Amino acid sequence: YSNQNLLRKRWESKLEAKRGHQKHEYRNWVTSQVGEALINNPTSLPVTSTPIGNKSSMFVTQNLAMEESFTIHLGSQLKHMHNIRILSADVTEFCSPLHRDENLNGLNMALGLYSSSLSGIVVLTPPGSVQVLPKIIKNANMSTEFHFDQRIEEDLRKSHNDAAAGAATEKTSQKLHPGDFFITRHSNLSQTHVIFHLISDESSDSPGEITSRHPVILGLRNILKTASRHDISMLTIPALLRHEMSEDMTVPWSIRRAELVFKCAKGFMIESATWGGTEINTLQLLLPHNISEELFTTLAGMVSNVFRVANPKFL
């Protein structure tokens, strides 16, 4: 056992040294690229460079099977324009690792990290201790985290310690309950900077009925409020509060659940105007990747009815 422990610590030390070396090289590369751009063409830099917050150039385009986009206006007196996008995909596709062959460079991602147009996603997590989907952990560890000091495991330990400290202060259980959430930050994932891990206790085999006062729905509201306060302008949420379709998820159940989530999301977005901070410019409603095309079409048609899609005016 002692030999195994010594070997493990040895390799952990080598990995940590390698990550530190890569972070140093990456920082020097970003500095040199910006310096060369300013020296060679200082006047046209704002035009030729990628605008901060331009997500179409920052993120890799996924080959999604089904998706539809809508433009809506929300607000009682002062209307604000938002983009609503409903799509079907695996949630881990938004947390995929960066690769050299993708149409994305590190400089644009670094600019996006320090802009006021961050991207976030809500991932459902079972109740209990602080834990993350194994595939997300694997993706996050496939490349060096250049910007944040902690790796995802260290982020999880910090979240666990914070939960334990809060429980000790309030003399309650340190377990996370439905509606609670914790956050991990990333610079080495392809389509998200922030992951909101929302605790949900719904069984995958027996979906039930919930109301607008359900803890998970209230947790979504708190996530939108947190996103608004921290410059997250693009947020992806699970439209059925599920990441996988099951045989028990009938068409009537799916329609009722989607209608509830759509209406609550609309109400939260209207309410967010009073919170201050950044507005959610783009809300993505994520449906399970194994949803049928007929059900997707039905739910996509509900978006225009619930959110009242803006119609073009002909002058």
Lowest-confidence segment of 37-41, 73-77, 159-163 by average pLDDT = 159-163
Q: Is residue 314 part of a domain?
A: no
36 and 66 together in one domain: no
Cα(160)–Cα(167) distance, integer angstroms: 11
Q: Is residue 50 part of a domain?
A: no
230 and 286 together in one domain: yes
Please name which of 284, 130, 123 lies closest in space to residue 216, comparing C-alpha atoms.
123
How confident is the model at residue 45, as a pLDDT?
44
Q: Is residue 312 part of a domain?
A: no
18 and 64 together in one domain: no
| Domain endpoint, select from 26, 45, 64 | 45
pLDDT in tens, 64-105: 568 999 988 887 677 788 899 999 999 998 888 876 445 444
Select the more confidently predicted residue: 228 or 54.
228
Dump strand ranges (E) for the chain. Answer: 66-74, 80-88, 118-125, 181-185, 194-199, 232-238, 282-287
25 and 63 together in one domain: no
Lowest-confidence segment of 118-122, 128-132, 135-139 by average pLDDT = 128-132
Q: Is residue 287 part of a domain?
A: yes
How confident is the model at residue 171, as a pLDDT?
53
158 and 79 together in one domain: yes
How confident is the model at residue 51, as a pLDDT?
37
38 and 63 together in one domain: no
Quick one: what percent of the chain has pLDDT higher than 70?
Answer: 75
Q: Is residue 209 part of a domain?
A: yes
Residue 9 belongs to what domain range? 1-45
Tokens of 216: 């998970």
Spatial contact of 288 and 243, defined as CB atoms under 8 Å apart: yes
How confident is the model at residue 50, as a pLDDT?
38
The number of folded domains in the chain is 2
24 and 74 together in one domain: no
Mean pLDDT, the chain, whole residue set = 79
Tokens of 155: 């982020």
CATH code of residue 177:
3.40.220.10
Report whether pLDDT(315) > 70. no
Lowest-confidence segment of 165-174, 224-233, 291-300 by average pLDDT = 165-174
pLDDT in tens, 167-219: 556 555 567 899 999 999 888 888 888 999 999 988 766 678 899 999 999 99
Report whether pLDDT(162) > 70. no
Q: Is residue 121 part of a domain?
A: yes
4 and 114 together in one domain: no
118 and 221 together in one domain: yes
Select the more confidently predicted residue: 185 or 37.
185
Instruction: Summarize the confidence of residues 219-223 as an average pLDDT.
Output: 95
Cα(183)–Cα(172) distance, integer angstroms: 21
**Complete DSSP assignment for 70-118:** EEEEE-SSS-EEEEEEEEE--GGGGGPBP-TTSS--HHHHHHHHTSS-E
Q: Is residue 313 part of a domain?
A: no
131 and 183 together in one domain: yes
pLDDT in tens, 253-288: 999 999 999 999 999 988 887 877 778 889 999 999
Quick one: what percent of the chain has pLDDT higher than 90?
Answer: 33
212 and 296 together in one domain: yes
179 and 286 together in one domain: yes
Q: Is residue 315 part of a domain?
A: no
Report whether pLDDT(61) > 60. no
Select the more confidently predicted residue: 168 or 304.
304
